[in-house]
Structure 1
Amino acid sequence: MQTKPVLSLSEINAILEAAQQEAEANGWVVTIAVADDGGHPLGLRRLDGAAPMSSYVATEKARSAAVGRKETKVFEEMINGGRSAFLSAPLEGLLEGGVPVIVDGQVIGAVGVSGVKSDQDAQIAKAGIAAIG
Structure 2
Amino acid sequence: MKLKQILTVLAVAAATVALVGCERPKGINVTSKEFERKVTEGVYKVAKAQYAFNKTTDQLYFNKATNTFRIVSNDGTKYIEVAFAAPIGSVGAKVQASVKSEGFEDVENFDSIEFEIMKKEGQNCWLWCQAHALGVLAFYIP
Same fold (TM over 0.5): no
Compare the two structures and name the one with the higher strand fraction. Answer: 2
Q: Which structure has the bigger radius of gyration?
A: 2
Greater percentage in helix: 1
TM-score, length-normalised on structure 1? 0.31
RCO comparison, higher one (Cα < 8 Å, 6+): 1
